[in-house]
Amino acid sequence: MVKNTSKNEIEKQISHIALIMDGNGRWANSRGLPRYEGHAQGLITLRKLLRDLKGYNLDYLTLFTFSIDNWKRPKEETSKLMQLLRKFISNDLSELHNNDVRIKVIGSRKDIPKDIIDLIKGAESLTINNSGLYLQIAFNYSGRQEIINATKKIAFAAAKGELDPNKIDKNIFESNLYSAGIPDPDLIIRTGSEKRISNFLLWQLSYSEVYFEECLWPDFNKNKLDVAINDYKNRSRRFGNVISEYR
């Protein structure tokens, strides 16, 4: 029997927003600039947004910064993107730490330069005890690969006799994801007018609300974030359930 649930029981304050920050290259191209300039401007937009988020009471923010598939881009562009990550960690880590932000980077460490891995480990270690915004950065990330990796870990545990296959459930599977222990996003926002998920958090987004923003990422700002959040608040999240006042 399906339980009728009121809107107020289901619709809760946003705790977790995920962002696909798309459109940096197109922003630069439209201005006759190298694509790198679009990524650099995108970093400025991100820095400002992180400061603006102080008044939102948000618990988690997940950023899709670099996909495994992005390695297909020209080497010069990927090299510039690595430089921007170095710049972000080196220049912004102190401010984030002072604002009680905890940093966690999810994704594969394969093919990542050692100095960047060291910077990532340092940022995670420095902020591990912070209790403010949990900033989850998807870097060198693939949603499909995350699911494959979780499946392998479970399979190896079962093969060693450490796990009864009949007891594998949603909780066990999620505990083997990169994002283990982090609640699923309430809202995912994608900028840049494209309407697809692009291999991002494929397991975690099963019941997330999706908002597609037309503007390119460098033009995103607090006002556009407010529009997306207000749109979310006007939706009814059912999670497969029935909301009596809508029936």
Q: Any idea what the CATH number is for the domain that residue 18 is in?
A: 3.40.1180.10
Q: Decide if 154 is inside a domain.
A: no
Query: What pLDDT was estimated at residue 239?
Result: 63
Domain residues for the domain of 137 are 12-142+183-236
- Known active-site residue 70: yes
CA-to-CA distance for 30 and 24, rounded, in angstroms? Answer: 10
DSSP class of residue 192 equals S
Q: Decide if 171 is inside a domain.
A: no
Helices (H) and strands (E) in the chain, counts: 8, 6
What CA–CA distances, in Å, run from 205 to 18, 121, 189? 9, 27, 11
Task: At 155, list the tokens.
Answer: 């399979």
Which of 52, 70, 130, 176 does the annotation list as catalytic?
70
Triad 168, 170, 175: Cα angle to 5°: 85
Q: How many domains does the chain have?
A: 1
Which of 22, 140, 184, 186 does the annotation list as catalytic?
22
Q: Decide if 150 is inside a domain.
A: no
Q: Decide if 153 is inside a domain.
A: no
Burial class for 76, CB neighbours closer than 10 Å (0-12, 13-18, 19+): exposed
Q: Decide if 161 is inside a domain.
A: no
Q: Decide if 176 is inside a domain.
A: no
Gyration radius (Cα) of the chain, Å: 19
For the chain, report the end-to-end CA distance as a whole number of angstroms: 16
Q: Decide if 168 is inside a domain.
A: no
CA-to-CA distance for 247 and 245, rounded, in angstroms? Answer: 6
The b-or-e profile of 148-184 (16+ CB within 10 A means b, else e) is eebeebbeebeeeeebeeeebeeeebbebbbbeebeb
CA-to-CA distance for 216 and 31, rounded, in angstroms? Answer: 13
Averages of pLDDT over each 10 residues, the chain, 247 residues: 37 85 97 96 97 92 96 92 92 96 96 94 98 97 98 97 96 98 97 96 96 98 97 80 51
Query: What pLDDT was estimated at residue 227?
Result: 97
pTM: 0.90
Q: Decide if 109 is inside a domain.
A: yes
In the block, tokens 């990796």 appear at 149
